[in-house]
Structure 1
Amino acid sequence: MDLGPGAGGTADGLGDVIASSAKQVETATAMTTPQLLVIALGGLEILAGLMIALNFGARFFAMLMAIYVAVSTVLFSDFWNQAAPENAAVVVDALKNLSIIGALFMIMGYGRETRPAEAAYGDV
């Protein structure tokens, strides 16, 4: 593949390959691409939630979920293009997603190692 100054042809060719593959999958499953993406993302949410809850690969799956939540927040919380009173619910949802991302960062930071129990009042 040539990725030089005329890489537009390469991108167009790659787009044709992806489009034909997507069309084959749509025909085989009798579902549209958005329906397939919703099912795949729902599976990702369930799998990542279970893996985080079971503490198996928690850092990796927390990173995947943080990326997923951040992208979905930017794509679906368009509060910056709405008037002030009408955007209140969307702002609340965006702030909720921001707090979820913060919790996922905490999971990424702590990881899966166990820590010894600390005495509440020192060495009593």
Structure 2
Amino acid sequence: MFLDDGLLDEADRAIRSAQDELGTDSIVERYRATLTLRRALNNEGLMEEDRLAMLLEAERIARTCTTRWPHDRYHFRVLADVGIALADRFGRLDVLDDTIALMQAVEVDNPDPDFVRDRRDLEGTRRRYST
């Protein structure tokens, strides 16, 4: 809820509290990646190299989520969001491409139609950067 409302400091406190209580948790880690992404995108006073560093940290966290919990499509959505941000701000397409490839690999064991739809949507987003 805090993330949806743009209350990033409150979200940070809630995430830290959850980490203290639960340890490493799938959902908490995904929220941590989302928080890092939002801070990178919403902090107007950030130098571009700092913004890039924060986006790369969000990528690292999201990739860890996709590796540890590969059948949770929401982890891939966060990684895709990071990839879109990197493409928009820095012209970097590698994370988008990697996310699509990772999703294709997971689809072999996870034929969930929502997961497949998410991957196809991401492929459509990726094509926008090719023109």
Q: Normalised by the size of structure 2, how large is the TM-score?
A: 0.34
Structure showing greater radius of gyration is 1
TM-score (norm 1): 0.36
Structure with higher helix content: 2
